[in-house]
Structures are given as C-alpha cells and as structure tokens.
Structure 1
Amino acid sequence: MEQAKVYFTTFKATAHENLLQKLHRLMKTAGFENIDFTDKYAAIKIHFGEYGNLAFLRPNYAKVVADYVKELGGKPYLTDCNTLYVGSRKNALDHLDTAYVNGFSPLQTGCHVLIGDGLKGTDETLVPIDGEYVKEAKIGHAIMDADVFISLTHFKGHEMAGFGGALKNIGMGCGSRAGKMEQHCDGKPSVDRDLCVGCGACSRICAHDAPQISDRKAEIDHEKCVGCGRCLAVCPKDAIAADFSDSIAVLNYKMAEYSLAVCRNRPCFHVSLICDVSPNCDCHAENDIPIIPNVGMLASFDPVALDQACADLCNQMTPVKESILGENLEKHGVDEGHDHFHMTHPDTEWKSCIAHAVKIGLGTDQYELVKI
C-alpha cells in the first residue's frame, strides 16, 4: 500500500490567523472539500469528556468542523455513545447534561448532539464484518445512519490501549454498550490482597457488582466483570491490576475491526489534536498534568496513518518532568528510544492495533507528513 498523506500544523498562531482559522485551513488543505456533503447527514464523533475532566477538546474546535460541514451543504451533528462504566455519561440524559455542561450545546457548537446508542445504550446497528475476532460489530445506530463520518479526536494517553487516538475514538467510542463489552471482555482485573485496604472504591464504581468486599479485602467476580478497567483507575492503593496475558492485543484487534465497521463504505475524514496530552482517557472524572507539551493538529483520510503519525510526533517530544511519564522515567532510568505511552502505562502497548488495522485493510502505517 502506498503512503497516505497526513497533514500537520503546529499550535503556533499569529495576529492574522488564530487556531480555529488554522484548523479550518488544515482541513481544507487535507482535502475536506473533496467530500460531497450536499444534503448529507454528517456524524462528527467526539469525546464530550467526563464531568470533572478538563482535558477534553474545547467545543470551539467542534464548531469549526460543524460550520465547515454546513458551509459545504451538509447537516452535521456531534455524537458519542454511552459508557460501559458508571459515570456522568452512562445514559443519554446524563450524557447530554455532561456534554452541555462541558460546552457542547447547539448554542456553542452550532449543531445538535445525538447520543449514538440511544437512551440506555441499546440502540445499535449490527454490522457484519466477519473479522478474525468480531463477526458482527455493534455500533450506535445514530452513527451508522450518517452519510459521512468524521472523527475529531483528542490524542492522549490511555490506561488500557496505550493511547487514545483516532482508532480508539472510532472503534471503542462508536460501540454500543454491548459493543464496548465485546471489546473489553478478555481483560479481567484481579486484586493484590496485600495492598488492598477494603475501602470499597472499586465496588462503588462498578456497574456490574463484580468487586465484593469480604474481611476488609476486595475480590472480583470474573463472571460478572466486563473488563472496563474503571476499578483500576479508582483504587487508591494500586491494588488492582488487569490479568491481561494477550488481552491487550485482543482488545486492540477488536478495536481495529470495530473501526473498520464504522468507516467502511462511506466517506470518512479524520482530525486529531495533540494537546493537553493527559496520561489517561477523557473518560476519567479528573485529568492529570500532560505527559508532553502540546504538539499540533493533524488531518487525514486514513485513520491508521493518522494514529501512527501522532504517536511518532509524540515520541519525539521531551516528557514533562512532573508528569507520570516523567516520574516513571526518573524512577526506572530509561534511556532514549523508549515509547512514551508504554512508559506511562507499562502494562499497555498500542502497536498491535495499528498492525491489525493495516492487516484488515483499514489503512496504512506508511505516511507522508505534509506540514502547513
């Protein structure tokens, strides 16, 4: 497969061109206007951010994309699917409340918000793909109904996938609740009883009553657990770890196949912003300081090349010393050449997702970086 073009610009601005205008120019240069938007429904997939998180993309960027779609005759709407874990986006009503609180209302963005998988996360379209790991992807109905699909991604770290890029935003983000369960189901966490203090934080965050407290120690019922990983994030003693074995790779393979189900057979365009690169997903109700400085904005018709380019650019950056990444580097004394995302979360790796996406024909990891 020949190289894909990935267009890149920094966050430097001038008195003659602010960042919003620069994003518009980036999209135009990358070929956004080659898509026929006339009277077409255009889904703009974005993460609205968990309530309490402040690392998510500012709604101003979403407005640029929505206005551009309308300028070209399309009918844009912002969308995301409900979460698997218990939080501020677990159903469509709470999800909309959170989106509006975080600034993604029609007044700020110029378009409506549709929760992709409906009120309770069960409004899904079954998309046959006959993949190696997924035979029938479960995608939010309002996302599959779109004529054109656009991903607008906050590129950041991720506690399970290594980083959250375009493929994570598309594959996991567009899955219905059952779709998310299907992708997560191979990773099941366990408790280190020597570290556990029985505080109950894991049981309070779990939607499925998997963690049980007995004799001031937690145990996780793997029959109930769906592998969402929220208990790992809230444990104050780091007593919970995932029994990954090969499950991280399987999660990545499934995520790639879900991305194929979303993108196949319709026009797609992808934008990623590498800013506020928090170590964890925007699904967290908090965000730690960025692991690297802001990098820039990228756009491409190829989501695989886009993710590869973003990862490469991030790994060229000097880590923020006070961040989790900086602390891990100081603690372990790692030389140059390490992967920032693996060093941030040593139990993760991201390359299998890209490799599988290439294998199934979603895109290529070979790219030409076109700087504007």
Structure 2
Amino acid sequence: MTVHLVPWDTSRNLLSLTDELYEAAGTLDCVSKGDLVAVKLHVGELGNPYYVQPFFVHRLVQKISEAGGKPFLTDSNTYYLARRHDAVDHFQTAMANGFGFCQFISADGLRSESGRPVKTKGILKEIEVSGAIAEADAMIVVSHDKGHALTGFGGAIKNMGMGCTTRAGKLRQHRTVGLKIDEGKCVGCGLCRKVCEMSLPEIVGNKAKNVSKECMRCPVCMEACPKGAIKLLKKNNLGKALASASYGVLSTFGKNKVSFVSFAENITQFCDCVPGPGRVVMNDIGIFASDSPVSVDAAFLQRADYKIFDEAYDVDSWTEVRELKELGIPGELKPKIEEI
C-alpha cells in the first residue's frame, strides 16, 4: 500500500502540488456526486500559530465540490474548557483562524449532545461518534502531525478517534489511563487543584484526593506537583483507545468512503489543542496522502524522529498505529512512500 508525499520544499508551489498529490493518492475517490462530505480538521486553539493553513483546506474544498460533493468543515467540541468547548465558541475560533470560506459545523452539536453510540473493538467496546460524522456520506481527514503528551504524537488516528467523538467519547478514551497520588509524598499544598481547570483534586486531611469521574487524566496536575506525588499510569492505553474509537468512527462509513491527508510541518512538542504548542522539535517533512489511517500515520513515523516524543513523554508513538492494524483496518506499518 503506497502513501504519497509532497516533500516540504518551499522553493516549490506546495499548493499546486497538492493537486498532483490528491490525483496520485486517489484522495477524491471517496466522493460521489451529491455526497455530504465531512472535511474533518482541527481549526487550532485560539492563539496557537501552528495548524493546517486555511488555504490548503480551501483548495481541498474546491476539489470536493468539483467532484460533485457537498463539503463542510467539521470538528467536535472539546471536553476541556477551551475556546472550542461549545458550538458558538468553536465557530468563532474557526472564523478567527481563517476558516470562513466554507460551512463549519460542530460535529457533536451545541453542547456535545449529538452523538451515536457505536459498537467497536479493542480496549473499548463502545464509542460515541459525533452526529455530523455519523451522518456524513464521506469524509476526508485533514491532520497536522505533531507531538502529544499522552500518545507521543497526534496524526490521523488521533484526529479521527478523539476528534470525531462526543465529550462522553473523549472522556471514555482518556479514562483508560490511570492516575495515582502517593500520599506519602503529597504535602497538601493544593497546587494540583489550582492548575486543574475543573478544580477536581480535593484536599482532604492535608492530602490531595482525586476520585472524580470527570477527570480526563490530562498531565497538568502531575506536571505541577512540586513533590512528584502524582503519576499517570498505563499511558499507552490512550493510544489503544484512539484505535478503538477510530475503528468505531470508520464503521459508520461505507467501504472506500474515507481519505486521509496529513501535514507534517511545524512539528511541535504539543497538540494544536493549546494556545502554546511549545517548540518546533524537528524539521518539516511534507504532506502525506493515503486511503488508510494506518499507512498515513506509519509513513509519518518512518520519516520523523519520533523517539523525541517517546523519550519526552515515556510512551510508544507506534501504539495507536499498531493497534488499529490489529483491529483489522487495512494498512501497512512499513508502507512504500512515493514522492511527488
């Protein structure tokens, strides 16, 4: 299975080269006349300078329309309290970040009330797929490859597994990670509670307690603890959960109705989900295209110095890719990469 790649060379017209990329990869083959086509992207958290540049998405929208499809931009609202937490803020952020050229629809409704429970495989048995995703006829997943503190990196599988599910689905995935507070080290300073946007850890008897079922296992409290009393356990479970969720998302589409385009440039320490994504940690690679989420993410990992992420976050960046292949989604862990 071949993954096609436009190397990131700004001495060439990269926008024009995407036309050749989509033709070679068959990116638009998933679109039939009259299809409602979800362009699944991440519009970037407000203030984050690194996300897929809107003019690339605009060109893709044009190509979908030329193929007879009815494109709309979409993403699900966030679980955490950011500027994309509800449909109104999400829309305004999309407009501010340059995505006003096409209809933007929050995939899971106004307050994440719109979802379809879907049976899946792997570490999860069920996942809540966002309504607009489940109802779309076809989907093109447009991703920005970058680091992620819990999964090593975020690419097509994370964009689909986390980004195509409701808040309930996001929490279900994150809760596969464990959290432990060592009371022998904890001094009850309360800093963990101060940095948590939901103020979930409680200080009881001069010790931190976190028994809330709303905790999404983000690393903020762990990183803030001055005594190292808080640890996240089994972090690789989130990669497995992303694969389970992605399997469920793909099950809502017919055969050959989903394509993947991934931009590996401005590859930062952290996700597009935060205003401060950290440093750019490796050289730009290019634009990948494939009809397989397994292959497109594996191609990135082949070309990237992914051990930077593994060592920084103590995870295995390959987990989500291997897991999705094991669940039966076609793709190659060592795909042939053909440059445009």
Are residue 62 (structure 1) and residue 57 (structure 2) matched? yes
Q: Secondary structure at the match of 1:78?
A: strand
- For residue 311 of structure 1, the aligned residue among 283, 301, 312 is 301
The verdict on how the C-alpha distance between 1:112 and 1:127 changes in structure 2, with shifts beyond 3 A counting, is same
Q: State the alpha-carbon separation in 2 of the partners of residues 236 and 96 from structure 1.
A: 35
- Alignment of structure 1 residues 92-241 onto 2, 5 Å: 92-106=87-101, 111-129=102-120, 131-190=121-180, 198=189, 200=191, 202-203=193-194, 205-207=196-198, 209-213=199-203, 219-229=208-218, 231-232=220-221, 235=224, 239=228, 241=230
- For residue 263 of structure 1, the aligned residue among 250, 272, 296 is 250
Q: State the alpha-carbon separation in 2 of the partners of residues 342 and 238 from structure 1.
A: 24
Aligned 8 A contact 1:190 1:241 in 2: yes
The verdict on how the C-alpha distance between 1:10 and 1:189 changes in structure 2, with shifts beyond 3 A counting, is same
Q: State the alpha-carbon separation in 1 of the partners of residues 297 and 222 from structure 2.
A: 24
Q: Shift in Å at residue 76 of structure 1?
A: 0.7
Aligned 8 A contact 1:188 1:227 in 2: no
Q: State the alpha-carbon separation in 2 of the partners of residues 297 and 238 from structure 1.
A: 42
Q: Secondary structure at the match of 1:223?
A: coil
The verdict on how the C-alpha distance between 1:283 and 1:301 changes in structure 2, with shifts beyond 3 A counting, is same
The verdict on how the C-alpha distance between 1:125 and 1:238 changes in structure 2, with shifts beyond 3 A counting, is farther
Deviations 1:173-217 (A, max 9, x none): 11100000110113244557868894747545433x4123579x7
The verdict on how the C-alpha distance between 1:290 and 1:192 changes in structure 2, with shifts beyond 3 A counting, is farther
Are residue 340 (structure 1) and residue 308 (structure 2) matched? yes
Moved more, 80-89 or 226-235: 226-235
Q: Shift in Å at residue 250 of structure 1?
A: 2.3
- For residue 67 of structure 2, the aligned residue among 64, 72, 85 is 72
Q: Shift in Å at residue 53 of structure 1?
A: 1.3
Deviations 1:251-284 (A, max 9, x none): 2222111111222342110011111111111111
Aligned residue number for residue 328 of structure 1: none
Q: State the alpha-carbon separation in 1 of the partners of residues 6 and 111 from structure 2.
A: 39
Aligned residue number for residue 32 of structure 1: 27
Q: Shift in Å at residue 285 of structure 1?
A: 2.0
- For residue 43 of structure 1, the aligned residue among 27, 32, 38 is 38
Q: Secondary structure at the match of 2:267?
A: coil
Calculate the aligned-residue CA RMSD, in Å. Answer: 2.4
The verdict on how the C-alpha distance between 1:187 and 1:36 changes in structure 2, with shifts beyond 3 A counting, is closer
Aligned residue number for residue 370 of structure 1: 338
Q: Shift in Å at residue 127 of structure 1?
A: 1.6
TM-score (norm 1): 0.83
Contiguous gaps of at least 5 residues in structure 2:
none
Moved more, 350-359 or 172-181: 350-359
The verdict on how the C-alpha distance between 1:32 and 1:226 changes in structure 2, with shifts beyond 3 A counting, is same
Q: State the alpha-carbon separation in 2 of the partners of residues 370 and 58 from structure 1.
A: 23
Contiguous gaps of at least 5 residues in structure 1:
316-337
Q: Secondary structure at the match of 1:138?
A: strand
- For residue 241 of structure 2, the aligned residue among 246, 254, 264 is 254
Are residue 11 (structure 1) and residue 11 (structure 2) matched? no
The verdict on how the C-alpha distance between 1:238 and 1:304 changes in structure 2, with shifts beyond 3 A counting, is farther
Q: Shift in Å at residue 154 of structure 1?
A: 0.3
Q: State the alpha-carbon separation in 1 of the partners of residues 207 and 8 from structure 2.
A: 46
The verdict on how the C-alpha distance between 1:298 and 1:212 changes in structure 2, with shifts beyond 3 A counting, is same
TM-score (norm 2): 0.90
Q: Shift in Å at residue 163 of structure 1?
A: 0.2
